[in-house]
Structure formats: structure tokens, C-alpha cells
Structure 1
Amino acid sequence: MNKIRGFELITAYKGREDLLPKRATKQAAGYDLKVAKDMTIAPKEIVLVPTGLKSYMQEGEVLYLYDRSSNPRKKGLVLINSVGVIDADYYNNPNNEGHIYAQMQNITQEPVTLVAGERLVQAVFAPFLLADGDEASGERLGGFGSTGH
């Protein structure tokens, strides 16, 4: 099968097919990404929540991570960077295999517990455009937050 775009488990989560995302409805734009391991987030704490996934896509495409609308009200969590951006060259990078994390903040005064397998963020594939004269030639050498170093 010729791979175009999709999700795979990273090595540490092989055998956890329950983590592979699905769209909830036929018209849904986003794939629901799940929490890969149980964890507790302290009040006001910002953490990287593992999904156990990496994503492949075509050149000229990006994967956006969006907060689920129910997170602030039901869980007291927000995706702190508003929108996560997963570039195509993040896939299989040598630092972390392209593991997708959601950067979440607990906005409550109480600890928030996440259970492996619960839905956390939505992932949406989209094309992107380049500006005239763009000559980017760098190569990704690391994982989360590695560009610009």
C-alpha cells in the first residue's frame, strides 16, 4: 500500500492499536488523539501528554492539533499553545521518532487525572502555502521544539 497520510504507533507503544485515532463521524475533520498513559496534572501545571503516535504526510501538508471543545469545561484542561503544528519532517526524527505530544495546562485548582485511552485533542491534516522567494533548506534533527536552535 502506498502511504499518503496517516498515523502509526511509535516503538514504545507497539501493540496498543487502541491508541490509533479515528474520526467520530463521517463529516468530522479531526481525528481524535488519545492519552497514551495514565497521568495526573497538578493545578496550573503545563505538561506534554504523550499520544503514542507519529504521523506521516506528503510534502506541502501539515497536521494541526486542536483542543477538544469539552476539555476546559469538563476536564479543566487547555491546549496551552492553542494549535499544535506537526510538520511532515517531524515523522521518524532521530530524537523521538516523531512522537506527537499535546502540551496541556490544568487551569483548575485541583489535580486532573488523565486515563490512557481517553480522547484529548483533535488532529486535522491540511495543505499549506509558501511565500514567494522561500528558500528554506534546513533539516530537522530533533523532536519537540527543536527548530530554531
Structure 2
Amino acid sequence: MKRGFEIVSKYESQGIHLPIRATQNAAGYDFYAAQDFIIPSIWRLNFIKLLWKMATAKEVLEDEQFAAQKDLKPFLVPTGIKAYMQPDEFLLLANRSSNPLKRSLILPNGVGIVDADYYNNADNEGEIFFQLLNFGVKELRIKKGERIGQGIFVPFLLADAEQKIVRKRTGGFGSSGR
């Protein structure tokens, strides 16, 4: 087996859909939410209060800055899916073209990268999550089974003089470095 998708064990009996391509020539596989999920509007969180204080030249306290920054962290929407692939490939996670226009959803980092060694890691079995922010004015309710993003398998090249890397992945999401 070269590349593909599997359902994470904790979701096996929960009717999770494997990613599929919507059309014959589509590059991306559509991913679905594994459960109902609410993503609050960024405009209803602490950071808007901070912006108002800054705009009116009032003093901004450090704990207010911390609370605002915390609110702007993306929400991790679970898919219940893991992906296997060849060692010289990765899965590129991208937004659906309709997300910003119709649902006010963005991937704050633009794209996500799922490395081949993320599959079946000990921390979370390699479950794929989509990082999403809602810049709309209302909270967004995502229903289980709704399409939330897409994944594209991509090969990559190595630099000529690269030193051999012997370190192995030891964790799940975000574990290869900060």
C-alpha cells in the first residue's frame, strides 16, 4: 500500500467518512468533521476588547494581551482520519475554496503539513486535525460529516548535502519542533 487513509480506532464505529476526491480530476481529497464542533467568532473574543483599548489609547495590561492572544489560537477540528504515505511524501492540508467565502473559515497558517512519520504515532495514532479560525461575526456550527478542508499527497525533494537525520518522531500533533 503506497498511500491512503484509515479511520482512527476511537472513531471506528462512529460512521466516519474516508476522504474522497469530489471530481475525476480533483487534486484534493475532501476531509469531513468527525463530530459536531462550534468555532466562535474572533470578533466575540477578548482580542476585540484589546483592539478597542489600543484604538482609544488606553493602557493595555499584560494579562489582557495574554487573554487576547490565547483567543486567536486556532481551533483543532478532528477528522477521525489518519494518512499513510511513502517516506518521501507529505499530505498538504489546505482550505476548501468555499470556506472563506461562504463560511468565514480560514486556516491561520495557510496550509498544514502531515509528515509520513505522523501516521500511527503513539500520542494520537496520527489523527489529522484542521486548524481553523472563524472570522465571521457569528459562531459557526460545523456538523459531523461536513467538509472542512482538503488534503493533497505531495512528493518532496532533499538537499544534496543534507546530513543524515537519525531522530525519530516521538509524539503527535506539533511534536517535531516549536
Could you say whether these structures have the same fold, taking a TM-score greater than 0.5 normalized by the shorter chain as the test?
yes
Amino acid at match of 2:148: L
Distance (whole Å) between structure 2 residues aligned to residue 53 and residue 15 of structure 1: 13
Runs of 5+ in structure 1 lacking a partner? none
Q: In the alignment, what sits opposite 2:170?
A: 141
Structure with greater Cα Rg: 2
Q: 1:93 aligns with which of 96, 114, 121?
A: 121
Q: Deviations over 1:69-126 (max 9, x none)?
A: 1001111110111111000000000011000000000111210110000111110001
CA–CA distance in 2 between the matches of 1:140 and 1:17?
30
Deviates more, 1:44-53 or 1:27-36: 44-53
Higher helix share: 2
Q: 1:12 & 1:35 partners in 2: Cα distance?
A: 14
Q: 1:11 aligns with which of 9, 12, 37?
A: 9
Q: TM-score, normalised by structure 1?
A: 0.94
CA offset at residue 17 of structure 1? 4.9
Regions of 4+ moved over 4 Å: none
Q: How far does the alpha carbon of each residue in 1:34-86 deviate from its partner, in whole angstroms, 9 at most, with x for none?
A: 01100111112520000000000011011000100100111111011111100
Partner of 1:25: 23
Among residues 138, 141, 146, which one is paired with 1:118 in the alignment? Answer: 146
Q: Structure 2, unaligned stretches of length 5 or more?
A: 43-71
The correspondence of residues 34-53 of structure 1 with structure 2, limited to 5 A, is 34-44=32-42, 46-53=74-81
CA RMSD, 1 decimal: 1.2
Is the Cα contact below 8 Å between 1:10 and 1:99 reproduced in 2? Answer: yes
Query: In 2, distance between residues paired with 1:40 and 1:18?
Result: 18
Larger strand fraction of residues: 1
**Partners of 1:148 and 1:35 in 2: how far apart?**
26
* Contact persistence 1:94–1:141 (CA under 8 A): yes
Return the match for 1:132 from 146, 152, 160.
Answer: 160
Percent identical residues: 49
TM-score, L = length of structure 2: 0.79
1:133 shift after superposition: 1.9
CA positional deviation for 1:137: 1.8
**How many residue pairs get matched?**
147
Q: In structure 1, how many angstroms separate the alpha carbons of the residues matched to 2:151 and 2:157?
A: 19
